[in-house]
Homo-oligomer: A and B are copies of this chain.
Amino acid sequence: MRERVQQAVSELGYRPFVGARAMRGATYTVGVSSLDTRNLFFGLIADGVQQAMERAGYGVLATLVGAGEGSQLESAESVIDHRMDGLILITPRMSRRSLDAFAHKIPTVVIGRHGSGDAYDSVASDDAAGARLVVDHLVGLGHRHIAYYSQRVSRTAGLPEELRESGYRSAMADHGLQPDVVVGDWTQEAGRAAATALLERPCRPTAIHAGADIAAFGFLGTFWDRGVRVPDEISVAGCDNTPVAAMTPIGLTSVDQRGHAMGEQAAQLLIERIRRPRAGRHFLVPPRLIARTSTAAPR
């Protein structure tokens, strides 16, 4: 009997309608909310999620966000409107309250925001450790004056920019060095502008940690244009280990966050949480430093 049905299924090319299944059970689909299409790092995370979910028999649908302002809240609501079985949020910048509200409505895993509590699970890069890796690396090379380019910190707690800055500060303090923090946006343009301002200082740092690769590219661009040799005159480091960082002749020293693995782990946690609600689990993934040609001993 079972066989005859299977037979008919193949012959007729029958496929169950997800919406109808949703009305009585599950959709076997999870949503990735607010995938930033401008950032390859997020793509890496999403790909990890996709692969792990596929192996487990789940489909993945993503809501996108790019230059448009389409809010993260609307994105996540849409996943709920489709009654998906689970929700993955990538670096959600919403309030803690909103985050909890979603997590109470649908099994949720947060990636890239340090979390706590039982409402959801989280997987984040250990951003403080990443900043420390960079400082240690630069100090090891002989640098003493290491500046840090920090993204404006929003009041929302647990986002990478917050932990990277505090990681930098405490690492510098541990080495007995003075912190030197410049604030701006983590974009290429803002990085370019910050580099220009840096060059006008009477006393320049010998190294700069740009906080994020995309900002580091802005620094590298200005330095190149102005004939400031990297790493001879100044060392530059980033964070995210974007594919571009590895490219010749850029060779940007960066912190790798294992985005693909983070995505896979988040998928695993989400599947567990879908099967059975349980206490929140929160993971910090240790990053690793990828030293390239943009950092060297000071002259």
Contact = CB atoms under 8 A, between A and B. Distances in A.
Interface in A105-155: none
Given A19-B19, A82-B18, A82-B29, A44 B66 contact: yes
A124 to B, nearest CB: 20
Given A78-B59, A81-B17, A248-B225, A50 B66 contact: yes
Contact of A221 (B68, B81, B248): B248
Contact of A43 (B22, B32, B43, B188): B43
B62 A35 contact: yes
Interface string A48-73: 00110010000111111111101000
B38 A43 contact: yes
Interface size class of A (residues with CB under 8 A): 35 or more
A46 B64 CA distance: 8
Interface string A22-49: 1100010101100101101011101100
B47 A64 contact: yes
A215 B148 CA distance: 34
Given A38-B43, A46-B37, A61-B63, A18 B81 contact: yes
Contacts of A32: 64
A272 interface: no
Nearest to A248: B221
Nearest to A36: B43
Nearest to A217: B247
A100 interface: no
A248 to B, nearest CB: 4
Contacts of A40: 37-38, 40
A80 interface: yes
Contacts of A31: 61
A15 interface: yes
Contacts of A209: none
Given A15-B80, A19-B27, 11 more contacts: A15-B77, A18-B83, A23-B23, A31-B61, A37-B44, A38-B40, A50-B66, A62-B63, A220-B249, A221-B249, A222-B248
23 contacts: A15-B77, A17-B83, A18-B81, A19-B23, A19-B82, A35-B37, A35-B64, A43-B43, A44-B66, A46-B64, A47-B68, A50-B66, A50-B68, A51-B67, A59-B63, A60-B63, A61-B63, A61-B78, A61-B82, A62-B62, A62-B63, A225-B248, A249-B249
